[in-house]
Each structure stands twice: as C-alpha cells, then as structure tokens.
Structure 1
Amino acid sequence: MTVLHPLTPHHAAHSLVPSISSFRPAALPSTYSIDSLKAWYLNPATDPLHPAIAFSIATSVIVFILGEVTGNVSQVDRLWTTLPLIYSAHFTFWPLVTRQVSHVADLDPRMLLVFALQCAWSARLTYQSARRGFLDPRSEDYRWPLVRKALPKLAFTLLDLFFIAFAQNFLLLAAELPQYLLLTRDLASSTHLSALARLKPSHAQVARVPLNVADAVLALAFVVTLVLEMRADNQQQAFQNLKHGALDKQRKGQQLTAKERSAVERGFVAEGLWSWSRHPNFACEQTTWYLLYAFTVLPFLALSTSITSHPLSTLTPSILFGGASSTTKEGLGLLSAHLPRYLTLDTALTALLHPLLTLRSLAPELLRPGALAQYAARAKLAGLVALAEVRADEGTHWNYSIAAPLLMSALFFSSTILTERISGSKYPLYATYRRRVAKFWPVLTPLKGLFLALTGGRRARVDRRIWGTREGQSAAKTLKRQ
C-alpha cells in the first residue's frame, strides 16, 4: 500500500483498517461471562472499536430473532433514537472508563462537544418518534407490509436478515466513525496507556487541537439545522392533525373550511419548509451527519490551507501547479499541452446553444483516425491526476469518516424512492408536486420553478394545482406560521 504522507489518525490505514482486520476471535475475551466481558472492555489495550462491533453484531442477531418471532421487522427502527448516542458515549468516555484519564475535564473537548450535540439530536428524534407512535413495540413501518406482500417469504426473510437487521445496525455504528477518528487522534496526541496511543515510528506525531472558531461555527450550524428539522416535524404534524380532523368532520357531514378542504384534496403537506423540499426533515437529518463529519476536518485545517485554494477547485494550470506534487505537475502539464485548442468557454457555450452545428464543425476532428483513442487516453490521464490529488488529500481535506454521512445519504435516497412511490399511488397531485419541489435540497426548487416557467409557462399552472387559489395560498401561509 502506497502512503503519500506520514500516517496520522485521519488516515484509514492508521487505526480503522488495522482495527477491523484485527477483529478476530483472538481479540475477543476467552469466555463470554459477565466478568470476562467486563475485564475485556475495561482493558486499555482493547481496541475501542472492537466492543462496538461485537455489540452491533449481538444487537443485529437479537433484532432479527425478534422480527421473525413477532412478525414485526421495525425493531431496529426503535433503536435509531438511541444506538448512535450509545456508540458516541462509548467512544467519548472510553478513556475515562478504562482509567486512562482521571477526570472528565481530561477528555477531548471536541468529542464532548460532538457528544452534547448528539444528545440534542437524540432527544429530538426520540420525541418525534414517540409523538408519531414509532416507539410502540406493536407499531411497524407502513412500508414493510407492502414490501412483505410483494416479495416471496424467503426473499423477505433474507431482506430482514441482511438489510433490516444487520446492515442498519452496522450503519448506526458507522455513523459514529467521526467520533472514533477523534478518539484515535486524542489517544495518539496524549500519554494514554492504550495500544492505539503508541504510534509506530513512521507515523506522524499529532497534537491535541483546542476548540476553535470552526468548532463554534459547526456547532451553531448543527443547532440551526436541528431547529429547522423540528420545524419541519411540527409543520408535518400540524398538517396531519388538520387533515385527519377534516376527514372526521367530513364523515360527520360537517362543513369544511377552505384550509381543511385543501388538505383533504391534496392529501400531503406542501406548505412551509415542505414547499421548498419534499423531505425537509430528511434533508436536515443528512445535513447533521455531514456537520458531524466536518468536525474531523475543518477544525484541523490551517488558515493558509483551504479547500478554495486546492488544485482541483481551480481552472488555470499555473494555479494547479502551485500546490501539486512534482508527479502531479508533470501529469497536469502533459494534460494541458494536449488539450484541444478549441475547448474554450466560447465553444462550450456555442455547443450548448447550437449542438448540431457544433457537432457538424467537429466531425472532421472526431472522425480522424485514432482520435477517439487519443481522447480516451487524455480522459484516463485526467482521471489518474484527479485520483492522485484525492489520495494526497486524505487526512487533510477528507478522511475515512466521510463514509458515515455518505451511507446515511444513500439510505435516505433509497428509502424515499419507495416512500414517494406509495405517496404517488395515493395522491394524484404528488406527481405534480415532484415536478415543482426538489426532493431534498431547497436550492434546487427555484431551478425547478425556472424550468417550468421557461417551458411553456407551466409554473403558474403547477403552483395553482398544488397550492390552489389565492384563498388556498393564504391558508397555506397560515399553516406555515404554525
């Protein structure tokens, strides 16, 4: 394995890869008695990731058995509110529990800050889950009965085993990779007794970085995101209360107000934050995990080294050469020398506005013998250069704990596919809502509106269908203020 820089705890090869590869029966206690497990856990030489992995495996097995016995596979859903916090507490206080430090004040303040933020995150999610009845042992995610009905019994059992039970539990553990990274860094920068604290001679020495302005900005952003997520929860709850109250009045033959009639006809919330994102709560949830990851990057960046000055974020070869290695400089120079002269901003704009004319003018060059092979070689070179820069940036501009938010985003993206398919089958207007409002990120919603406005002036018609007349829009604003 080629290492471009001396290893630090921000590199996967420093702690994560050795920890996972060493998780074998020999690393576990000889017996599984309470005393043996306790002694193993409290041993400073135990890798702190090993007890977390063992606990995750045991939890997965229990969840799977409970799901099969009860016929309710939402057992793991009720653990989402607490398991990440348990893992975070394990990593945060592990030096104290194993008596490597004597006082809480000796723990890494950044880890304590992240743990405090996660306590707030867990409190919000627990409250929201309890309010919607998800913590009831008898409740089951409304999507699983539909999936169970669509799949053969064996296929659903395998889905329960590999995804619902094991994959989700491992995901909840992976969500705490930023805390594990911060722990290994703190161990490496101190005189702790653990095996992780004793760095190999080839590893770069690290020092504890005090809390700084980056931590304050990230903490503030986390709190703001959490508040927005709570607001989205409240708006959804207010709409559901309004809709179900209106349906109850309708069954009793009572007259509905314009706001109630709009809620019943549409069927889904589309006001407030939900007019900017189809899943603002999920967007905020993903943002919180990216912010937690950022605690492993931004506070450790020197002011003279920022992402905006990184070679990959610039366009001119002279700036590219300024921060690149000699190998990268040679590759970039070769790439720049062989770029076609006609690849300019003017030609790019012309190609967008007149694609057929551009294609006709480039046909002689593209049909030249060996042209495609030459372009393929250039593309390969560009890819290798970019990959080299990304690898060189590991431990500085990114680290392995980026897997935590990326996995969360993948889960939310895949789960909302089924959610929106169900919503689309229940509510005729949902397809129109999808064309108008972005799935997660609000910045895309104005672009969707602009596209509709530029393609036949459809934006006004779509807006009227979703939010109704002026009377309906006024009612929407009223709900937005709730």
Structure 2
Amino acid sequence: MAIVPSTLSTFYKGVPPSFQWPVKFCIYNTVVAFVLGAATGNVSQVDRVWTFLPTMYAAYYALLPLWPSKSPLPLYPFLPETAHPDIAHNFSPRALLMFGLIFIWMCRYVTKLVAQSALYRLDISLSYNTWRRGLFNLKDEDYRWAILRSKMSPLLFQVFNLVFIAFMQNVILFVLAVPVQIAAMQQPAKLHVSDYFLAGLALLDVAAEFVADNQQYSFQTFKHSGVRQPKTADWPGARIEWTTADANRGFITRGLWAWSRHPNFFCEQTFWVIINLIPLVAPEYPGYEPPLPLGSGTPLESLFPIIPSLVISSLFFSSTIFTESVSAAKYPEYKAYQQRVSMFVPFLTPVWGLYLKLLGKKEEIDKLVYGQDLPKGKKKAE
C-alpha cells in the first residue's frame, strides 16, 4: 500500500509547483472517464465535461494567489509553498483576461435572460449548445464512437478508450490552459495593446462560432420537422429561410456553411490559437522554459510554447476527416460540397470556386451544393 504514495511522491518531484495540482486533477479525470466508459459502455464521458475542464484549469492559474499551500480536501486546488513568491501573491492581469475569455467561450451558448420557453429558461447557467445536443444525458453517446466500436474488437476498443478517449483527450484539455500558466509566470504590471487586440479577435471568434452552431441547429430543426420556425424562434444570424431542397440534400450549405464546411470547428481552432498567442506576443515574453524536462535542444522543447495550437488543430483535423468520411457515405452530394467549399478556412472557398470555373464544373457543382430554390437576393460563395 505504501508503494503508491511513494511513487506519486517521486513523480511530483519532477513536476513544477504550478503544475502539481493540474497534473493530479488530469490523472483523476482520466481514471474516472475510463472507468465510467468501460462500466456503462458509453465512452462520451469526456465529451460531457469538454466545455468545463479548460475553464477550470485556466481558473486555477488566473487565481493562483487564492489557493492554499496544502489541499484541505481531496482535489481541492493548492499551490505548494515552493512556488515562486511572485505568482503565489500577485494576480496576473493577463492571466485574468485569458480566464475571462475562456469563461466566455464556455458560456457561448448561454441563452438570453428573457427566454421564449421553459427549455431556454432552464439553461441560464449552462453551456447551452452542449446541453441541447444531449451530452449531459448519460445515455447519449457521440455517434462516431459507436462507428469505431463496430470496426474494432472489444479489447482493442477498450485500449483505444483508455489511451485516446480517456487519457489523450484529458491531456489536451489540460494543455489548452498552458498559455494561461505562461501568462501567470509573466506577471505584467498592466495589459498591453497586443492583449486588447487579441482579446477583441477572440470575442469576435466566439460570436462567429455561436452563429455557426445556431445555423446548424436551425437547419437540423427544419430538416427533421419539415416546418419553418418563426424568425423570432431562431437566434440572430441563424434566421435563414430553409427550403425543401436544403432538407433533401441532408446537410447545411447556407449561411457561414456556404463558406466553410466546418465554420464552428474553424472558429474553435482559431480561438485557441489566439489564446496561445496572447502571452507569446506580449512584451514580457523573453522565451519560455518548458515546465517538464524534455531534453535540451530537442524539437519538442522548441515547439513547447505553441503545442496547444498544434494539438487542438491536429485533433480537429483528424476528427473532421473521420466525420466527413461518414457524411460522404451518407449524402450523395457531400463529395461535391467538399470540392466546392473549404474544409475550414472560408477565404479559400472563392479559390475553389475559381478553380472549378476554369475546369468548367462550377455551375454543375453549385447546383448540387446550393440547389436551385435559393431565395432571390441570397448570394452564393463566389
């Protein structure tokens, strides 16, 4: 029984003070996610807390002076006495700003205070889009996990559950908060122009993601009900006059989705890139020593400051490839959509359009992707 505490003690000796609680919390979440997934047969456990964990890690770093040197309760945040006095006693305005942005990201789907139904009134304090997609329903599971489960042996799928679904995803959610840790170490006296500029971009990004998600939700509602909702029932930016051709096509190609096949994913990645950049472009940034020993001069060491951006982009790219393979098999016109519209970056869609025009295929592809019954005055992506 004494082996486990001894092992943990040895492990913590190599972990810097400001990383000890987050690492402990990450390990705990990994174990819980794996056990619950294996016991219930539902491996969407990390999905349910995806919105909250980066915010919790960010809060830990932004509020470091509040934490005691020893945890009074299991998993209660703490900052060891060996931590640098500056970060233990001084709040970092940059870390607080980043925490605020991440908190807004978490709440980007919070409903209006004056809701139109009891459904809307219930989620004033929740991440609305996660709630309405059913991820807080313990019986619901991401459809992609079911597809993967059908392609693997039970043993191999449990290995995948442990390594990627439970462990790697929890590590990713922890890594997303590393830029806030860097900001907490910087201890700037005040915010600079770069902080305000990037914060403004981050807010615009969250607003665009909000619009993209609500356009998708409005489309799916029309597709499955066949009834157009009153314009006042949809959020601003999602009040699109869906047509029968849109529903028959099966997937959304209007609004922001006419310019990007995954505008919400594009905004999500961009948001975390912006968060990653805030401490890196600050005047106080002289370089950064990785918190864990990676080996002097290794590529990983030099890339460490931008690892959050690389990790989130790699995750979304690989996940999107799989998601699109499912969509292409399900919807006949989806391959035309892939030819016409950029996967992520909306500015590339006009380039694809020009390329198809040079090949003489643009009119045919546009007919498949956008349909022939668009309301007059509505522009397609050129």
User: If the TM-score is normalised by the length of the shorter chain, which range does it land in?
Assistant: 0.7 to 0.9
Instruction: Show the 5 A alignment for 1:19-418.
Output: 25-26=9-10, 28=12, 47-98=17-68, 106-124=90-108, 126-186=127-187, 208=188, 210-246=190-226, 259-300=242-283, 400-418=304-322
Distance 1:102 1:410 in 2: 35
TM-fit CA distance, 1:114: 0.4
* Secondary structure in 1 matching 2:107: helix
Contact 1:273–1:280 (CA under 8 A) maintained in structure 2: yes
Distance 2:36 2:351 in 1: 46
Q: Tell me, yes or no, if structure 1 residue 474 matches structure 2 residue 375.
A: yes
Distance 2:283 2:313 in 1: 25
Q: 1:94 to 1:105 in 2, by over 3 A?
A: closer
* Secondary structure in 2 matching 1:299: coil
* Secondary structure in 2 matching 1:443: helix
Instruction: Show the 5 A alignment for 1:430-449.
Output: 430-449=334-353
Cα displacement string for residues 70-107 of structure 1 (whole angstroms, at most 9, x for unaligned residues): 00000010110100011111111122324888999941
Q: 1:300 to 1:68 in 2, by over 3 A?
A: same
TM-fit CA distance, 1:236: 0.4
Distance 1:97 1:448 in 2: 52
Cα displacement string for residues 4-58 of structure 1 (whole angstroms, at most 9, x for unaligned residues): xxxxxxxxxxxxxxxxxxx9523659xxxxxxxxxxxxxxx97020111111111
Distance 2:153 2:219 in 1: 36
Percent identical residues:
37
Contact 1:239–1:479 (CA under 8 A) maintained in structure 2: no
Q: Identify the residue that residue 190 of structure 1 maps to in structure 2.
A: none
More helix per residue: 1 or 2?
1
Give the counterpart letter for 1:146 in structure 2: I
TM-fit CA distance, 1:150: 0.9
TM-fit CA distance, 1:465: 1.5
Cα displacement string for residues 183-234 of structure 1 (whole angstroms, at most 9, x for unaligned residues): 2233xxxxxxxxxxxxxxxxxxxxx352111111101100000000000011
TM-fit CA distance, 1:428: 0.3
TM-fit CA distance, 1:440: 0.5
TM-fit CA distance, 1:134: 1.5
Cα displacement string for residues 248-297 of structure 1 (whole angstroms, at most 9, x for unaligned residues): 9xxxxxxxxx9442122210011010000000000000000000011112
Give the counterpart letter for 1:87 in structure 2: Y
Q: 1:134 to 1:113 in 2, by over 3 A?
A: same
More displaced 10-residue stretch of structure 1: 96-105 or 287-296: 96-105
Give the counterpart letter for 2:181 in structure 1: Y
Cα displacement string for residues 425-456 of structure 1 (whole angstroms, at most 9, x for unaligned residues): 1110000000000000111111111110111x
Distance 2:345 2:243 in 1: 28
RMSD: 3.2
Contact 2:64–2:87 (CA under 8 A) maintained in structure 1: no
Q: 1:428 to 1:27 in 2, by over 3 A?
A: closer
Distance 2:362 2:357 in 1: 5
Give the counterpart letter for 1:152 in structure 2: S
Q: Identify the residue that residue 79 of structure 2 maps to in structure 1.
A: none
Distance 2:93 2:105 in 1: 18
* Secondary structure in 2 matching 1:295: helix
Distance 2:242 2:159 in 1: 45
Contact 2:262–2:344 (CA under 8 A) maintained in structure 1: yes
TM, length-normalised to structure 2: 0.77
Contact 2:205–2:270 (CA under 8 A) maintained in structure 1: yes
Q: 1:54 to 1:105 in 2, by over 3 A?
A: closer
Distance 2:346 2:172 in 1: 26
* Secondary structure in 1 matching 2:138: coil
TM-fit CA distance, 1:476: 9.7
* Secondary structure in 1 matching 2:272: helix
Give the counterpart letter for 2:154 in structure 1: K
Contact 2:260–2:344 (CA under 8 A) maintained in structure 1: yes
User: Number of residues paired by the alignment?
Assistant: 321
Distance 1:59 1:465 in 2: 45
Give the counterpart letter for 2:191 in structure 1: L
Distance 2:164 2:340 in 1: 32
Q: 1:443 to 1:68 in 2, by over 3 A?
A: same
Distance 2:211 2:242 in 1: 20
Distance 2:196 2:280 in 1: 14
Give the counterpart letter for 1:52 in structure 2: P
Contact 2:258–2:380 (CA under 8 A) maintained in structure 1: no
Contact 1:271–1:476 (CA under 8 A) maintained in structure 2: no
Q: Identify the residue that residue 454 of structure 1 maps to in structure 2.
A: 358
Contact 2:34–2:162 (CA under 8 A) maintained in structure 1: yes
